[in-house]
Amino acid sequence: MKYIPINFQKKYSKINEQWSPKVIAKMNDYQFKIAKIEGEFIWHKHDETDEVFIIVEGSMKIEFRDGSVNLKQGEMFVVPKGIEHKPIASKECKIINIEPSGTSNTGDTKSNRTVNGNDWI
């Protein structure tokens, strides 16, 4: 077995599109996904799982129907399952999501932003 660390910056350099998470690791039934985001995403929720956002670079806001949370580099937030939310980044932001394998990036909502969530880089 080879013991090779995962370098976030090298992985981010392989991503050209926004809002298209790529899997970089798997732990048990959970995937670690990275993405570059900018602009507004769509309102959605995940009925079966919480969703973790870790900010690697930049800042973002997550809107909820009853408020919002602002996140900056070095911070994280867990969106509880079943809570409708909309991520927003005014400038490009690099994030990590941790969620069960096969979780759709748009949760219960299907749109042109839905990706299969299983693309590895």
Q: What are phi and psi of 13, to 5 degrees?
A: -65, -15
**What's residue 109's pLDDT?**
76
pLDDT at 103: 85
Query: What pLDDT was estimated at residue 107?
Result: 75
pLDDT of res. 114:
75
CA dist., res. 99 & res. 74, Å (int)? 19
Question: What sign does the CA torsion over 87, 92, 95, 100 have?
Answer: positive
- Low-confidence spans in the chain with pLDDT less than 70: 116-117
Residue 8 φ then ψ, to 5°: -60, -45
Q: Check residue 105 and give its pLDDT.
A: 84
Domain 8-100: which CATH number of 2.60.120.10, 3.40.50.920, 3.30.70.580, 3.40.228.10: 2.60.120.10
Looking at residue 60, its amino acid is M
With CA atoms as reference, report the closest residue to 93 among 55, 121, 64.
55
Q: What global pTM score does this model have?
A: 0.93
Residue 59: the pLDDT is 98
pLDDT value of position 117? 65
